[in-house]
Amino acid sequence: MIEVRIHGRGGQGAVIASEILATASFYDGKFCQSFPAFGVERRGAPVTAFTRIDDKYIRIRTQIYAPDHIIVLDQTLLTEGVEVTGGLKHGGWIVVNSRKDLAGFPGFNKYRVATVDANSIAMSHGVGTSTAPVVNTTILGAFVRVTELVTIDSVIKAIKEIVPTKRDQNALAAQEAYEKVFYHKGSSPWREG
């Protein structure tokens, strides 16, 4: 079973990203789960969402405490007391919405790190606004490129089914992020096996 934890802020679409990832895995013939965990339910507050993907029926129904991979929709969460790497398995991917080189970020040295400037990509496709880009679909393109958990075609199909507005723009943003993801020093686009 592969477990993914998504960290974001209210309004950035972490919950929808989790649903899209689960739906894409379903399209690829896998079993899946998607669910959120909320603290203070307000725009801008930290939000966590979870996705499980497996080749067989998933019976567990708890939050994900030891994820295989992490997605971070807002890099400011890295410095605001949110322990995004908590429980992350050795060799797991951390995919962050950032323009910065985060490979040397404290605690990241034992993980594979990839970044994508999801803010700029989302804004260039009119997804959200310049002050509040919605990066959930964009970062999924980068995530599936580095992890190869599901196909980009399935992600795009799920985006066009689930996203309530600007479906084509969201799909284009995901495709662009798929092509522009940056692997940091020591990280590899291939899974260990």
Which of the pair, 108 or 157, is modelled with greater confidence? Answer: 157
Model confidence, pTM: 0.91
Architecture of domain 2-183: 3-Layer(aba) Sandwich (3.40)
Rounded Cα distance between 119 and 113, Å, is: 18
Domain regions of the chain by residue span:
2-183
Please report where in the chains the tokens 């989790």 appear, as a residue. 18
Q: Over the stretch 49-104, which tens digit does the pLDDT of each residue have?
A: 999 999 999 999 899 999 999 999 999 898 887 788 889 998 899 999 998 877 66
Q: Over the stretch 3-21, which tens digit does the pLDDT of each residue have?
A: 999 999 888 899 999 999 9
**Cα-atom radius of gyration of the chain, to the nearest Å?**
15
- pLDDT greater than 50 at residue 105: yes
